[in-house]
Amino acid sequence: MTKYNIKFYFLISILYIVSSSFLFFDDGGNIQFIPYTSLPSNIQEFVNTYFNEYEVYSSAVSTHYIVIFKGGSSINFNRKGEWTSIIGNRKIIQISTAEKFIDSKIMNIIKNKYTSINNIYKRSKGYEFKVDDAYYIYIDYDGNILKIKKA
In a domain, 7, yes or no: no
Distance CA 141, CA 126 (A): 5
Q: What is the pTM of this model?
A: 0.79
- Domain residues for 94? 32-150
Question: pLDDT above 70 covers what percent of the chain?
Answer: 81
In a domain, 12, yes or no: no
In a domain, 82, yes or no: yes
In a domain, 87, yes or no: yes
In a domain, 25, yes or no: no
In a domain, 36, yes or no: yes
Phi, psi dihedral angles at 37 (to 5 degrees): -70, -10
Distance CA 54, CA 51 (A): 5
Distance CA 151, CA 139 (A): 16
CA 23 to chain centroid, in Å, comes to: 15
Q: Does the pLDDT at position 96 exceed 70?
A: yes
Give pLDDT tens digits for 10-60.
Answer: 545 554 454 444 445 455 568 899 999 999 999 999 999 999 999 999 999
**Domain at 134, CATH number:** 3.40.1420.30
In a domain, 141, yes or no: yes
CB neighbours of 85 closer than 8 A, spacing ≥ 6? 75, 76, 119, 120, 121, 122
pLDDT of residue 23: 45
> How many domains does the chain divide into?
1
Largest CA distance in the chain: 59
What Å distances lie between residue 61 and 19, 42, 76, 119, CA to CA? 19, 15, 10, 21
In a domain, 111, yes or no: yes
pLDDT of residue 90: 80
pLDDT of residue 30: 84
pLDDT of residue 22: 45
Give pLDDT tens digits for 116-136.
Answer: 999 999 999 999 999 999 999
Give pLDDT tens digits for 70-84.
Answer: 999 999 999 999 999
pLDDT of residue 15: 47
